[in-house]
Amino acid sequence: MARFKDAESLVNAVIRVRRDKLWPMVTEFIDDITAQILNLEPSYYLWIGVDTYTGSEQQVLAKLNNDISLSGGEIVNRASTWQEFSKILEPRRMLYSATLKAAFNDYGTDVFVAFEDIAVPMSKLPEAVRDIQALGRKYNVRMNLGGHIGDGNLHPAVWARRSDRDEMDRVMRFFEDVGRLSIRLNGTVSAEHGIGTQKKELLREAIGSRNGGNSDAVIGLMRSIKRVFDPYGIFNPGKIFD
């Protein structure tokens, strides 16, 4: 478990670890806002768990310490077994509940919470984090940021007063622009949570961006493939492309 003064230093540490061929099984982070909600010192926190063989733990920890130090970070806790690491990881597991706590503290039952779900190539992570934070300032929204940063997966969360139309509009524009940011950085608008109905237009934009602006041909091909396996249209959740 390490802490950093800013998100870019944290991201650079992850990139440095990957370049050193230390392949983490766990690479999680939270931002300084979430840290304060969790009663941690205001910093950006990173958890890295590396699977290794018995006897090499200290060597691996030394490499991690070097990569984190060179990136401007500081190790604040360490473990040599998965059991110990599981305890250290506990604050990160509370990211979702911490976000809901902050949102309900601000607006009570009149709150609306949206969790984004994008992924970008590792080389684009510093730019993605900077741009997400800039979008938060642009739209003046309440936001925190965390995610599975080892595979470029970012989960900015925003919340607003449901009855405030202006604030709700700003939250939704933030949500859409984060999706467009992932398209611009050659990432994906949905890393793991799916498209649903909220992202169907973003999906069209993503498909179009890789096909000269023409998403219709690709979507038509998808429909044709679906008809082969579902000729009677039995499976049609949400009619995403209708």
Q: Looking at the domain assignment, is residue 206 inside a domain?
A: no
What's 188's DSSP letter? B
Instruction: State which H helix or E strand residue 114 sits in.
Output: strand 111-115
Q: Domain for residue 211, yes or no?
A: no
Tell me the torsion sign for CA atoms 45, 50, 54, 59. Answer: negative
| DSSP reduced 3-state for 163 | coil
CB 136 within 8 A of CB 181: no
Q: Residues 112-132: pLDDT tens digits?
A: 999 999 999 988 888 998 899
pLDDT at res. 88: 93
* Nearest-angstrom CA–CA distance, 26 and 43: 19
Given a cut of 80, whether residue 75 has pLDDT beyond it is yes
- Regarding whether 152 and 115 lie in a shared domain, the answer is yes
222 within a domain of the structure (yes/no): no
Expressed as residue numbers, the domain containing 65 is: 2-93
**Percent of the chain residues past pLDDT 70, beyond the cut:** 97
User: Do 40 and 118 sit in the same domain of this protein?
Assistant: no
**In this structure, are 11 and 60 located in the same domain?**
yes
With 60 as the cut, is the pLDDT of residue 4 above it?
A: yes
Cα–Cα distance measured from residue 70 to residue 72, given in angstroms and rounded to the nearest whole number: 6
What CATH code is carried by the domain that includes residue 171?
3.30.70.2740
